[in-house]
Structure 1
Amino acid sequence: MISTSTTLAPPLSPPSSDSDSDSSSHRHHHSDLSSTIFKSYLELSGDHHNQKHDLIKIQAFLTSSRSGALSCLICLERIRPSDPTWSCSSRCFAVFHLHCIQSWGVQSSNLAAVRAITRAATPNDSSLLWHCPKCRIEYSKSQIPKTYYCFCGKLPDPPHDPWVLPHSCGEICGRPLMYNCGHNCLLLCHPGPCPSCPKLVKSKCFCGAVEDVKRCGFKNFSCNGVCKKMLDCNTHRCNEICHEDDCPPCKAKGMFKCQCGKVEMKRECFDRVFRCENPCEKLLGCGRHKCEKGCHEGDCGDCPLQGKRTCPCGKKVYEGIACDVVVSVCGATCGKMLSCGFHRCPERCHRGPCIETCRVVITKSCRCGSYKKQVPCHQDMTCERKCQKLRDCGKHACKRRCCDGDCPPCSEMCDRKLRCRNHKCPAPCHRSDIVLSVFLSSNSPSLNGR
């Protein structure tokens, strides 16, 4: 394997100077250095659009960090080089003030807890989620950041150095590269995503016909020849251009028989196994009865009436009876479980299904438990008592007849005046927002000193 690596270091920020001309020349010098390095790195990527897009994104992050143009999307203030920060490393890589994202995460988690309580659910850490303010990807409450780390996550509380990129440790990034190639990022600690792996490796095309030296991040390639892989039918080969993923289903057409062999029709090769609408009707092993299954492949099996047989209720066993002889009833009580799941069939041993309706008289309680009565087992029991329990709004009673305690949400209109004092709330009746504000104030931890 050829393993050529390229290390790209983010351009350093020059120290502050009292001379505007010196500072300007430094910025011009480092801007030229940045452009030269990225130009050489882009040449390595060839015509790969994704890698060029990643590099341009990294260059934009570096330029913004070096010039101090980064802004927090929560407070909309400029992020200074000495400010503790947090970046979304899952998708958008946006940078925020650490105390801003902590406050954002705590308030979002508390709101999720309030919503869970109003739904009578028990909140837990997995359900208390907060989202990145930019890309909206989900984080759990336990993932609210508590410590200021550098971009690569190795150094807590990175010191501010005018010669090192702000919020960076200045060491090799070392994060795993995209596409799980097994190599790590060779850039110095940097904001934004890591680029695709630039190492050279030997790789085969998708169909395996051509071997070539490719960049590791883009080692999977098409030779633009015919695939010629054997398809699932094990008869025909793929005629598509060398491609990624599995080959498409075989579309070759031919005459194929159904599973029982009665019907023959023209079908596509991938759909050659099918069942017709005719019953099988092949003779079973006994030679007297026919198979009652639908169209199927393979042996029909032995006659189910051969060997030991029982009466319809299953209490008496008969041996040595021919499969074409009807077994008589035993005369005992059936005793099979009825559909209610509590009582058994009281009739004599009989052929066919048991009675569907259980008529055993039992004492039942209504749903709310305030009334009892003797009724047949299959009959539901309700009373006329109206539930007086308050609904979730805390104002109106349920009023549902024979309520089992699970009262539905209030269907009345809120109709309270909004804070503008000019309009009324059009939402369904709900608890006052005072409850919500009290809950948040009692559950929000202090963020001072973070």
Structure 2
Amino acid sequence: MDAISLQDNGETNLSESILEEIRTSAYTCLVCTDYLTPESQVWSCSNCYRVFDLDCIKDWSKRGSSTQDDHSWRCPSCNFNHNKIPKQYTCWCGKLINPNINYLEPHSCGNICSNPLPNCSHECTKSCHPGPHIEKCTSLGPILKCHCGKHSKQLPCTLTPYNNGWSCDEICNDLLSCGIHRCQKKCHSGICDDCDIIIDSKCYCGKSHDKIYCHDRLPKISSNEKEKWIGNFECLQPCDQYLDCGIHKCLLDCHSISKDIHKCPNDPKNLTSCPCGKHKINELLSSPRKSCLDPIPTCDNICNKRLPCGHKCYWKCHTGECAPCYRSVDIDCHCGFTHYSIACKLNVEGYQPICQTKCNAKFNCKRHFCTKKCCDYRQQAFDRSKLIKKQLRNNVITTAIADQVEFEDVHTCKQICNSLLSCGKHHCKDICHSGPCRPCLESSSDDLVCYCGKTIVSAPVRCGTQLPRCPYQCTRPTSCGHRPEHHNCHEDDIPCPKCTMLVTKTCQCEKKNLVANVMCYQEIVSCFKVCDKLLTCGRHKCKKTCHKPGECTKKCNEKCLKIKSCGHECEQLCHGDKPCNESLPCKAKVVLTCDCGRRKQPMLCFSVNEMVKQEKQRKLEDNKASEVSENNELKNQEDNVDEVTPTIPCDEVCIKERRNKLLFEALGLNPARTKETEISIKMKRVQSIYTQFVLNLYSKQTVWCSSIEDILRKVLTSANDTNFRQMKNSQLKQGHNFRPMKPIQRRFVKELADAYGLFSESHDPEPNRSVFVKLLNTSSLPDVDLSEAYAVYKEFKEIEKKKATERLIKILDANNNTGYHDENSINDSKVQYNYYNGIIIKDVYFGITVETVDAALYNSWNLKDNETDEKVFPLIKKGKVEFINEGMYVFYGEDIIEELLDAENITDVKSQYETQIKSLCELFDVKVKEKNLALKCIPVKIDIQEGIILEIMKEEEVVIPPNEEELNNLEDVIDDLKNLKIESTVVNPKSSEWW
């Protein structure tokens, strides 16, 4: 049965009415009287369930709590007392902070309410809602056993007796504590009562018989010469039996009797030692004792018996009780502050000394201190004060509760307060108290009159009364002579508002420009013009706006920008007429090329100049070493040395391209064919440096990718400049930490760093995960930058597309026997991809890379038959796994156009290829689940030439209840699928490229 149908209609109507009114923007906030909408941030009272605007209730609660000692405030609707000030906007159940806008169920998170019900252990089963929770729990209660544990049953939660349990009404029959009888009560809770059966018993001494309750028995065995019995109680008669000496009697009350219990302690047989026990009596007497009446001798040793105080008796061996102890013991005074040494006897009698230390504990007024000497409550007051401070520090109690703590009578202040009252004239006559004093009750017979004389408080005027605000205009004259500002009459100690009359004044700079529409009270006026006064450097002007004379910029912060000998501008701060410091390395970038112009290397100007100097020095040394040249020839050679142009050497690729070009020209090959070959050679070089993912992302995010490339080039540029690194080693940047970015951007950074030979590593968890790159000894700039590589890649793709179009025309010719094909017919030929020719690998687990999946699936599509040694999937060639997004990869093989060209029936080849893909998909599905790589694999239709996902096979609908993590990630999955735009039908090819 639905839980909502069981609850009261009033509760249901209240929740629905609140949602309906907010949904239609008809619900009113009682504080601001404005309407609440699904976009508003709201707060609901837990008592009356009235809904308010969050900002309104924050302001209301702060105002209300400021007037209460316990900082509580009351609901504007029901006047219910709240102790917590609302701070955050949450859903109705409070589980989600700042929930998304929901127009169907406003301010609801959509989860189960789960609020604990008051009378059971279950929770509210309604979805997140306003208003009251369900009253009647519809769940079954736990299985409860009866009190005696013989039977058990389960009832609905509302009928389950949680507190009292239930009884089966059978006889308990448990063995009672007496160990003889059994409980005859019906099934009951708790332990069985004591045995109330009355039995006839005999006392320990055997003189009395009585009837007692069974549970009062204390059995003990007694015996004499005549009989043996078990006594169960002690009678009130004394024993009064003679001891074994026959002279003395037992002085004990009724007790258990045995043959060895009535022995005389002074009998010569029983008493063999002196009172201290250190010597035998026979050693102290000349003749032995014959009767218990003979005197007991003592020795000369110390008694040494243990006294009640714990010490030992220090008197000589004696008969009778030991004397009191007079040893000194340490004891605290009444307040526990001072220690004293007193006689042990006094300590036993309860004597406690008194010290001269004052208590100094605060009275309840918290103003005065206790001055009593050796106060008994000093330590108690100290512990109380320490506990209150600790609880206030840990927010366990409030100051209002701390003020209500009871004090001892001795620490209750009885002085007169005598504090100055709020009137500032009289003093408080009450007993000393905490908190503010009462208002002054004195009064005056003079009237209170304001400055203008229009507002009057008639006598008698109570002391401290303030003159009310006068509603009339102030009549005080202004110092500037303008009309006074519009404001009410006020006290003399309050200044009048500043004059806002618009006037014309001169500015503060040396130009003394007139500035109109300036308020009269303004003393500092600016014309907001640039100063333009020549600075002390003599080259630059002051850039500050209108300022007081003499406040120009003291130090010029502009750049020098003079042309240095290298031809670049000086980047140092302005140094006036002083010459530029040519010894500082110039950091301007210079691009060097090889002789053929293919390679390009950016370097710093300083490093290039060093290279030129070294080359000049080398040539001069070579010329001087030549003995054949004459003096005039040497001079000409020195002139030629000045014309040295720095270059970088050609590499193997440059040599190969130059050799291929010469070969094509010598053989007279087709220029168009030569261009295709050159593009193919360049493409192989590009593929050896950059991945296809890097090139594809560069085509879509050119600006961002170029910025990443510039950062990596800056890291490597300073590293390639050896001379600069030797001089500025402390400032050399060894790496770069990128800001947090998305996974696809991090992948681009890592793969581009691999092209530069840099070390890359990801740091920090999501969503703050970033990439750090670091220089290695093998790091170097690639020969081809991204823009050039993409241009080659784009031309190569066009050539491949042209080749694919030619092969499609051949297929159409083979099927239609026609020789003419326009663009529409070629586009229609893409029906070759109306079969499943790829596999989507969905829900890839976190941390699984493309390389891991590719290696795990290689043996599956490359499987061979053991008997024929032929491939199980012969049409699937050069299979590979590509990245689509986080959690989704795609597998596809080489295009089967060549097989279609050779086939007589194209439809059969497509059908065979689709059958092999579906069979392989089943193998993939088993493989990824066994190795915990992904959740499922699905056949897909893709355009291999364009890299476009056309269609994904529909999955069978399986109802699986989502877990909490899937619910939390549902929006992210939907966004990813929207970005991919993958549907069960054919989608727009231009918006579904996976790279």
Q: TM-score, length-normalised on structure 1?
A: 0.46
Higher relative contact order (CA 8 A, sep 6+): 1
TM-score for the superposition, normalised by structure 2: 0.25
Tell me which protein shows more helix as a share of its residues: 2
